[in-house]
Amino acid sequence: MLKRLEELKQNTLKQLKTVGDSSALRELEGATIGKKGELTTILRSIGTLPAEERKAVGEKANQVKQALAAAIEVREEEIRAQEMAADMQAGAIDVTLPGRPIATGRIHPANQALRDIYDIWAEMGFQVYRSPDVETDDNNFSLLNIPPYHPARDMWDTFHTTEPDVLLRTHTSPGQIRAMQEYAPEPIRVILPGMCYRYEQVTVRSEFQFNQVEGLAVGYNIRMTDLKGTMAAFARRFYGADRQVRFRSSHFPFTEPSIEVDVQCILCDGAGCQVCKYTGWLEIAGAGMVHPVVLKNGGYEPTRFSGFAFGMGTERSIMLKHGVQDIRHFWGNDLRFLEQF
Ligand code: PHE
């Protein structure tokens, strides 16, 4: 028995040296001095030994137990220190590495263009007037001199709602009626920006939603020359100081006379390219002198007042300015496109 105890001690001390982590250490402890360990079992069975052996075996067993407990404690400390060092190594932060860049949001190119456009008009005395996206049939059409069933309604493919005579505005022009009705008979100078909706096939050149910026000036002696000068001033501010501008005769039911405003192509300087379809010119706005019927519907006496109005597409302006070939990029949410602005 004494020999077995000595063996147990030597074996355990040897094994302790090779034990590499705390769970293996716990196991070894359990198998020796633990509750069900060999040494504990021996200590318990001492009573069954012949009387003359009991003292020697008891002493030896207790000695071994103390020696092992002390050795295990020492080893435990060592292992804990090793494990902590390993943990710290694994979780170490290299403070010399460059930081990760924080991705910040940015203004959508359409909103950025709107802001640039507001700035230019603000300097010319035009104030932003907000009007709703959901409109009445009257404001969108009838009061703009486009009565029900008039063929001119075909110019705007319309999203109707289930509510009779309530629709999504097809252009920002209904805002003219709202602004005039609010301010008449005071002279006004406003721009009316916002989203417009058309029940149209989505293609490279047309979306079913897009921003427009409408302009309206009503006063006592406003003439076609004022419209032309104002549009030219805007075009040169927005597209470049040396741009040529031209006006073509056109037709809108709510303006008379009506014009279309063209700017010399920015990409080819008028030489002719794919974007301007080899004409050298880009169409930037529809415009005209406010029709007397519309002035009257807005609350102005057409014999005393006159005015001009214009409307331009925001996304279209960006496309022209930057040579963007596909209008669907604007609402496609592809960051590769959006981050270029
Ligand atoms: N509302 C017209 C359109 O969307 C543009 C326009 C506005 C033309 C104001 C003349 C005057 O086509």
Ligand 1 probe mutation, 143, 171, 260, 290, most atoms within 8 A of CB: 171
Nearest residue (by CA) to ligand 1, atom 9, is: 310
Instruction: Report how far ligand 1's centroid is from the alpha carbon of 310 (Å).
Output: 6
pLDDT in tens, 186-207: 999 999 999 999 999 998 888 9
- Residue at token pair 């005071």: 186
What is the residue with the minimal CA distance to atom 7 of ligand 1? 311
Q: Could you report the per-residue pLDDT of 84-94, keeping only the tens digit for each?
A: 888 888 887 88
pLDDT band at 38 (very low <50, low <70, confident <90, very high): confident
- List the domain boundaries for the chain: 2-90, 109-338
Q: Is the separation of the CB atoms in 290 and 310 below 8 Å? A: no
The candidate with the shortest Cα–Cα distance to 118, out of 262, 238, 210, is 238
Average pLDDT of the residues of the chain: 93
Query: Could you tell me which CATH number the domain at 109-338 has?
Result: 3.30.930.10
* 289/309 Cα distance (integer angstroms): 6
Residue 275 CA from chain centroid, whole number: 29
Whose alpha carbon is nearest atom 4 of ligand 1? 171
Confidence of residue 309 (pLDDT cuts 50, 70, 90): very high
- 157 Cα: distance to centroid of ligand 1 (angstroms): 14
DSSP letter string, 286-337: EEEEEPHHHHHHHT--TTT-EEEEEEEEHHHHHHHHHT---GGGGGS--HHH
What pLDDT, in 10s, does the model give residues 130-151? 999 999 999 999 999 999 999 9
Q: Judge contact between 319 and 110, C-beta under 8 A.
A: no
Among 81-95, 199-213, 304-318, the minimum mean pLDDT is found in: 81-95
